[in-house]
Amino acid sequence: MRRTVNRLADGREIVYFDDTPDAPARTAKDTRDLPPFHPSSEIRRDPLTDEWVVMAAHRQTRTYKPPAETCPLCPSEPGRPTEIPESSYDVVVFENRFPSFSHTNGDGFAPTTVDGMDMVPRAPGSGRCEVVCFTSNHNSSFGELTVPRIRTVVDVWADRTEAMSALPYVAQVFPFENRGEEIGVTLSHPHGQIYGYPFITPRTERMLEVASAYQDKHGRPVMGDVLAAERAVGTRVIESSEHWTAFVPAAARWPVEVHVVPHRQVPDLPALTSVERDDFADLYSRVLKHLDSLYDRPLPYIAAWHQAPVREGRDLAWLHLEVFSVLRTKDKLKYLAGSESGMAVWINDTTPEAVAERLRSAV
C-alpha cells in the first residue's frame, strides 16, 4: 500500500492510501478558494453525571444531503473541485471541514468554568476529526468492497489510530461508520469517520470499570469469558473464523446488533497482526452480507470500533467492533423513547437468539 500526504487549500491534511499497483502519483492541488480553517468548539463537564458534553455550533452549517452530482466526497472533475483534488482514489482520509474537535480550537481560550457555575468546567474542544472515504464509487457501499479493499481500510484505521494516539491532546481514538439516512447520514458517499477525543468517553469508562472489577474477582478478562461462552453455546454466533467470531450479544440493546471480536486480547487496531487483519476482512465481508440480506434492503447501521484509551486501561480493554441498526423490521424504526433516552434502560422488541437465527439464514 502506498501512502501519500498532501494539504487542502485551507491547510487541512489529506492522506491517500493506494492499493492499486498502477495508481497515479497523488500530486493534484486543491484549487478552491476556501476560507481559513478555524473551527470553534468547547467541552463542558455535566456536574450531575460527571460526563463531558461537546458544544460545536459551527457544525450547523455543514453540508447536508447534497445530490450525487455535487457530492463533496467524490473525486474532483474539471470545473467541479471537491474535498478530494484527485480525479480518482482508492482510500483517502482528510481532516473534517466541520469537526467536533480540532487542534486549532481554543486560541486564547484557557480551561475555566461556565459563568456563574464553578461546578461546570469548560475547556477548548481540542482533538481531531477525520473523514475516511472507502472508495471513489459514489453508488457503492462498505459491504460491496472487495476483501482486499476491506483489508486496506483496516490498515488505514490502524495507521490513523497510531497517528492520532501520538497527539498529546487525544485521549481516545474512535473509528466508526454511519450508514443510511435512518441513522442520520447527511452524505451518502461510502465513508466513515475517526474521532480523536480529548477525554475518555463515558461508554469506555464504564466498560473499563466493569472489566477491572471482573478481573479482580475472577482473574480473567470479561470479554474473554463472554467470547468463550458464545462460541461454546453457538446459538448467537453469526460467523466465525480462525481469529474472529461475530455474534449477537446475549443482552443486545438494538433490534439488530452484532459484535465482531478477535480471539486474542489486543488493545487496539495497530496491535493486530497481518494474519488477523486478513482474517477480519474476510469475515466482516460475510457479516455485512448477512446484514444486508436480513430485510432484503441495505441495512442502516453504525459500525463502532471499541479501542483502549491512548494512555489508560490498555491492559483491561479488548478490541472489538460493534455493528448495530435502528431498523426493527423492513420498514419500522426503533425509536429511543422515554426509557432509553430518559433513563438509559433499553427495551428490545425481540430476542438476541431470534435475531441471530434470522441473520444466519439471511444470505
Any idea which residues carry the catalytic annotation? 191
Question: Which residue has cell 460493534?
Answer: 322
Contact 163, 228 (CB under 8 A): no
Residue 193 burial (C-beta neighbours within 10 Å; 0-12, 13-18, 19+): middle
Contact 355, 258 (CB under 8 A): no
Instruction: Say how far apart CA 147 and CA 341 lie, in whole Å.
Output: 37
Contact 262, 268 (CB under 8 A): no
Cα end-to-end span (Å), the chain: 31
Three-state SS across the chain? CEEEEEECCCCCEEEEEECCCCCCCCCCCCCCCCCCCCCCCEEEEECCCCEEEEECHHHHHCCCCCCHHHCCCCECECCECCCECCCCCCEEEEECCCCCCCCCCCCCCCCEEECCEEEEEEEECCCEEEEEECCCCCCCCHHHCCHHHHHHHHHHHHHHHHHHHCCCCCCEEEEEEEECHHHCCCCCCCEEEEEEECCCCHHHHHHHHHHHHHHHHHCCCHHHHHHHHHHHHCCCEEEECCCEEEECCCCCCCCEEEEEEECCCCCCHHHCCHHHHHHHHHHHHHHHHHHHHHCCCCCCEEEEEECCCCCCCCCCCCCEEEEEECEEECCEECCCCHHHHHHCCCCCCCCHHHHHHHHHHCC
Neighbours of 142 (CB within 10 A): 20
